[in-house]
Amino acid sequence: GQTVCIEQGLLGSPEFRDGKVLDPGVRVVGGWVAIPQSAGLAPEWGRVSRGSLRVTWQCVGDGWGIVPASKQTATLKVLKEEVRACNSCCLGVQAQLQTVHTQLGEAKAKLLEQESALKELSERVTQGLAEAGRDRENIRSELFRELERVRFQNSEQDPKEGEGRAKRTLLLRLAFLEPPGSVFDFGLISVPPSLGPGSKTPLPNPLRLLHLRANHLFNLPHPAGSCEQCPKSWLPFQGSCYFFSAQGATWVEAQSHCEGAGAHLVIVGGLEEQGFLSRNTAGRGYWLGLRAVRRARKIQSYQWVDGVPLSFSHWNLGEPNDSLGREDCIMMLRTGMWNDAPCNSKDDSWICEKRHNC
């Protein structure tokens, strides 16, 4: 609106010259400081006259009120102080935020460093386990080769002398090559499954058991010379013939192939037979005659094709794991270790076994 003033004030004063804008919406009119009433200030009128303030009612306006210049100046001064205090407060908050930001950056860097260290440690542990598994298999292979060599030497020299030497060699090697949980595991011997899974009973004389084990291994029957020779492409070992296929098939197809040849998928009875099989894998994986027995979709046990429950085993590290709940059939890896796999997989060959006809 417009402001109409009757008296003219100190138009020549530099502080309050006519028309000067002191703030948005606040200006000097005829020596008076005028602001809109919409600014929320009381409609007061004042005038600067020779440094003193004189209140008058001679100025009227439409939508405007006129306040003394001194009051406006004091108000502006208060506002400036408040703004200055707010700026100071904001600077303090900004400094605090910067400190927190720096601390968060340092914490993030430490977390990344720890994550990297944990990842490196995990890789080292995984690599160490893999190397330990390979070393164990190399030692086992060495043992199997040594047993075969000793048996051969035993057959060409005095039986008693050869048997004694073979037993001594076997005792020295079996003492540290048997896996955890075996008969040599800290003086404990595994109890048959019928007495409870995982049950163990103290072994009073581990050395005596070692001798019994050696006697058993070296008293196994050898194929008689009068036995019928194994068919072509079949390998003989301790009274049985073995066929190592060169093509892949499912477990059921593999068993069918063996039955067609008057045999069955191989049943592994112990370390010596396992050693023989491991030496003839030819870099392939082979189905064994072993399957899981499930009840309510959970594996309860493992059973050979002749119905005999599993006793001797040669599992790979971490197996069997029944991945996705569908690995019911057992195969032998190229390393000789056992692994569970889906029965419908055609990635593996198979090994057939049948007895000599004597």
- The domain made up of 234-355 has a fold known as Mannose-Binding Protein A; Chain A (3.10.100)
Please report, to the nearest 10 degrees, the dihedral formed by the alpha carbons of residues 293, 299, 301, 304 taken in order: 40
Among candidate residues 305, 311, 355, 358, the one with its CA nearest the CA of residue 329: 305
pLDDT for residue 332: 97
What is the distance between the terminal CA atoms of the chain, rounded to a whole angstrom?
129
Do you find a cis peptide bond into 206, omega within 30 degrees of 0? no
pLDDT for residue 285: 95
Among candidate residues 322, 195, 335, 201, the one with its CA nearest the CA of residue 278: 335
pLDDT for residue 91: 85
Q: Are strands 349-355 and 240-244 parallel, antiparallel or unpaired?
A: antiparallel
Q: Are strands 349-355 and 48-49 parallel, antiparallel or unpaired?
A: unpaired
pLDDT for residue 192: 42
pLDDT digits (tens, 9 = 90+) for 252-296: 999 999 999 999 999 999 999 999 999 998 889 999 999 999 999
pLDDT for residue 272: 95
CA dist 116 and 114 (Å) reads 5
Task: Provide the CA 47 distance to its chain's centre, in angstroms.
Answer: 83
Contacts of 236 (CB under 8 A, 6+ apart): 223, 229, 230, 242, 356
Contacts of 129 (CB under 8 A, 6+ apart): 317
pLDDT for residue 257: 97
pTM: 0.41
Distances (CA, A) of 205 to 78, 188, 208, 228: 99, 10, 5, 42
Which residue spans of the chain are classified as CATH 3.10.100.10? 234-355
Looking at residue 309, the DSSP 8-state letter turns out to be B
Q: Are strands 298-304 and 32-36 parallel, antiparallel or unpaired?
A: unpaired
- 3-class DSSP assignment, residue 129: helix
Give the Cβ contact number of residue 81 at 10 Å.
Answer: 10
CA dist 174 and 133 (Å) reads 17
Phi and psi (nearest 5°) for 31?
A: 85, 0
pLDDT for residue 13: 47
- Cross-strand pairs, 97: none
Among candidate residues 236, 243, 285, the one with its CA nearest the CA of residue 263: 243
Joined together, the tokens standing for residue 91 give 């600077």
CA dist 32 and 20 (Å) reads 10
CA dist 163 and 143 (Å) reads 17
Joined together, the tokens standing for residue 267 give 């049943």
CA dist 59 and 33 (Å) reads 11
- Cross-strand pairs, 4: 60
Is residue 224 classed exposed, middle or buried when 0-12, 13-18 and 19+ CB atoms within 10 A define those classes? exposed
Residue by residue, DSSP assigns 23-54 as ETTEEEETTEEEEEGGGS-------EETTEE-
pLDDT, tens digit only, all 358 positions of the chain: 333 333 334 334 455 555 666 555 556 665 555 555 444 444 443 433 333 333 333 343 434 444 444 555 666 777 788 888 888 888 888 888 999 999 999 999 999 999 999 988 988 888 888 787 777 767 766 676 676 666 556 555 554 454 555 555 555 555 445 444 444 333 333 334 444 444 444 444 544 454 455 545 444 444 444 456 899 999 999 999 999 999 999 999 999 999 999 999 999 999 999 999 999 988 899 999 999 999 999 999 999 999 999 999 999 999 999 989 899 999 999 999 999 999 999 999 999 999 976 5
Q: Which amino acid is at 49?
A: S
